[in-house]
Structure 1
Amino acid sequence: MISRRGANHQPAAEWSRRKMLALLIGAGATGVLLVVGIVLAVVYAVAPVGHTAEQKTTSTSSSTGGGTGTSMRSGTAVDPRDALADKPMPTVDEDASHPGPVSTHDPGVPIILPAPTSIGPAKVPTGFPRTPQGAMAQLAAIDQTALQSSTLAGAREVIRAWALPGGPTSSWSGVRAMAEFFNAAGLSGGGNSRLAIVATPLMGLIKGSVGADFVLPCVDFEVDVTLQQTARGAAADCQRMVWTGARWMIGPGSEPAPAPSVWPGTDTALAVGYRDLRQEALR
């Protein structure tokens, strides 16, 4: 981590750090997803704690068969897409999102993300194929573009362009998390010239699919945030991805159960089912 050792502490910087801690508490209560990792990273940079990776053995890689069948819950038919989205993900300790020791275990075969072939609405890379890997690549591009915009307007533009009717819009966890972040940091929704956010998708898993046109991928990012100092943490996101005939989009329905935010490459990341992501070379 990069710290400001030997520098004069400015009141504004200390105020922002206290607000970051308050945001951490609020984020845990509301369950916002994307910027929790950023907050953890900033708090960790200010007051490091010992990292202890806790092994989790719960499997998260499940697949619902093709077709449009339904399952039964308490005598009521349940849409299999909802059942898949609602299925709980493994939970990890909060410090699992902090930078930690890289695992020496074999991570298995990586997931190859196809390369984009064009730029779509809101400047999001697109043109991914109708495959589970294509759905994951599109989700990674959506999240990455929204987060790296470093503005509320940028996040809103992305979700308006990439959510189908009935899907998350202003209620999207990405918008809510960025709003919480700006409020806590004392910044306007327009961002700040000193703020830079870089989100790099490094691991992921396919939670499952229903037919060929509904895939539920989860992407685990390394997030680097710079605001007077640089800090790093992990943030993960799962979404319902629906093939529209031309591109993958975030589908209707409530957002899926939260994915564990785990520092990529650690024993914990492997234990919860994440695999390394590799980007296909651009043609």
Structure 2
Amino acid sequence: MLPATPDDARQGVPAAIAGPVIEVPPATAAGPAQVPTGFPHTPEGAVGQLAAIETTVLQGMSIPQTNQVYEQWAMADGSGVAQWALTKNVQNFLASAGQGQTKDPTVTVTAIPAAAQVKATDGDDWVLACVLLDVRATITAEAHIGYGYCERMQWQPAGQGGRWMIAPGAAAAPAPSTWPGTETAFKAGWRTWVTSNGAD
């Protein structure tokens, strides 16, 4: 993947030409641990499910909730919640903001999918999905970054018609965190997020 510097995540000049897009279907149901679900059995569905898992964790900024999400959405034999990259992000945020196990109600975090990419597939049931989020956090002042994140996703056919889950095994390589919509983001393979009508 394209190397990215910390400054690439914080700022950037919008690209002069619009880049490629990826159409991601919307969620159609509520899932375990308050994570939206109901995404189709497609690579774009895996991207949508990963984004739903990620935004739920980052907007909640709660250690107990992060544990619940991991328990419900990660398959056995993974890295474990303590080593999960999203857990470490929540821990670092809470520590830097002087918070406890859960962020204070006065602290706000929004995470919106801005771009995504499918790095690899292996048959119909396995996808290496990546999502680039537009993350804004307000404690005493607003901070704003682009945050790229990847997971191996595996389709589980049992229960509620099947759903995408985090696949077992080692963690995926870190994704380049770039400012959405920039030339750097497009060179890193990011495609602008467009919500499809879900009819496909």
Q: TM-score range by the shorter chain?
A: over 0.9
**Once the two structures are superposed, what CA deviation does each residue of 1:89-115 show, in whole Å capped at 9, x if it has no partner?**
22112200013211112312x111111
CA contact under 8 A between 1:150 and 1:196: conserved in structure 2? Answer: no
Counterpart Cα distance in 1 of 2:60 and 2:80: 17
Partner of 2:58: 147
1:247 aligns with 2:163: yes
**Bigger proportion of residues as strand:** 2
Q: Which residue of 2 aligns with 1:228?
A: 140
1:184 partnered with 2:102 = no
Q: Return the offset for 1:169.
A: 3.1
SS in 1 for 2:178: coil
- The alignment-based identity, stated in percent, is 36
Secondary structure of the equivalent of 2:170? coil
Alignment counterpart, residue 161 of structure 1, candidates 72, 80, 84: 72
Measured in 2, the distance between the counterparts of 1:96 and 1:229 equals 20
Contact 1:159 1:168 in 2 (8 A): no
Specify the SS of the correspondent of 2:56: helix
- What's the counterpart of residue 280 of structure 1? 196
- 1:92 corresponds in structure 2 to 4
CA contact 1:195–1:226 (8 Å) conserved in 2: yes
Query: Counterpart of 2:54 in structure 1: which amino acid?
Result: D
Equivalent residues in 2 for 1:1-283, closer than 5 Å: 89-108=1-20, 110-170=21-81, 171-245=83-157, 246-281=162-197
Aligned alpha-carbon RMSD (Å): 1.3
Q: CA deviation at 1:282?
A: 6.7
Over residues 108-130 of structure 1, what are the superposed CA-to-partner deviations in whole Å (9 max), with x where a residue is unaligned? 2x111111111100111111111
3-state secondary structure, aligned to 1:222: strand
Q: Are the aligned partners of 1:239 and 1:250 in contact in 2 as well (CA < 8 Å)? A: yes
Counterpart residue identity of residue 274, structure 1: W
Gaps of 5+ in 2: none
**In structure 1, distance between residues paired with 2:171 and 2:29:** 27
Equivalents in 2 of 1:180, 1:114: separation in Å?
A: 31
Q: Any gaps of 5 or more consecutive residues in structure 1?
A: 1-88
Aligned residues: 194
Deviates more, 1:239-248 or 1:96-105: 96-105
C-alpha separation between the residues in 2 aligned to 1:103 and 1:203? Answer: 14
Deviates more, 1:182-191 or 1:250-259: 182-191
Match of 1:46 in 2: none
**SS state at 2:189 partner:** coil
1:183-239 per-position Cα deviation (integer Å, ceiling 9, x unaligned): 222210121122111001111111011111000011000100010111211111100
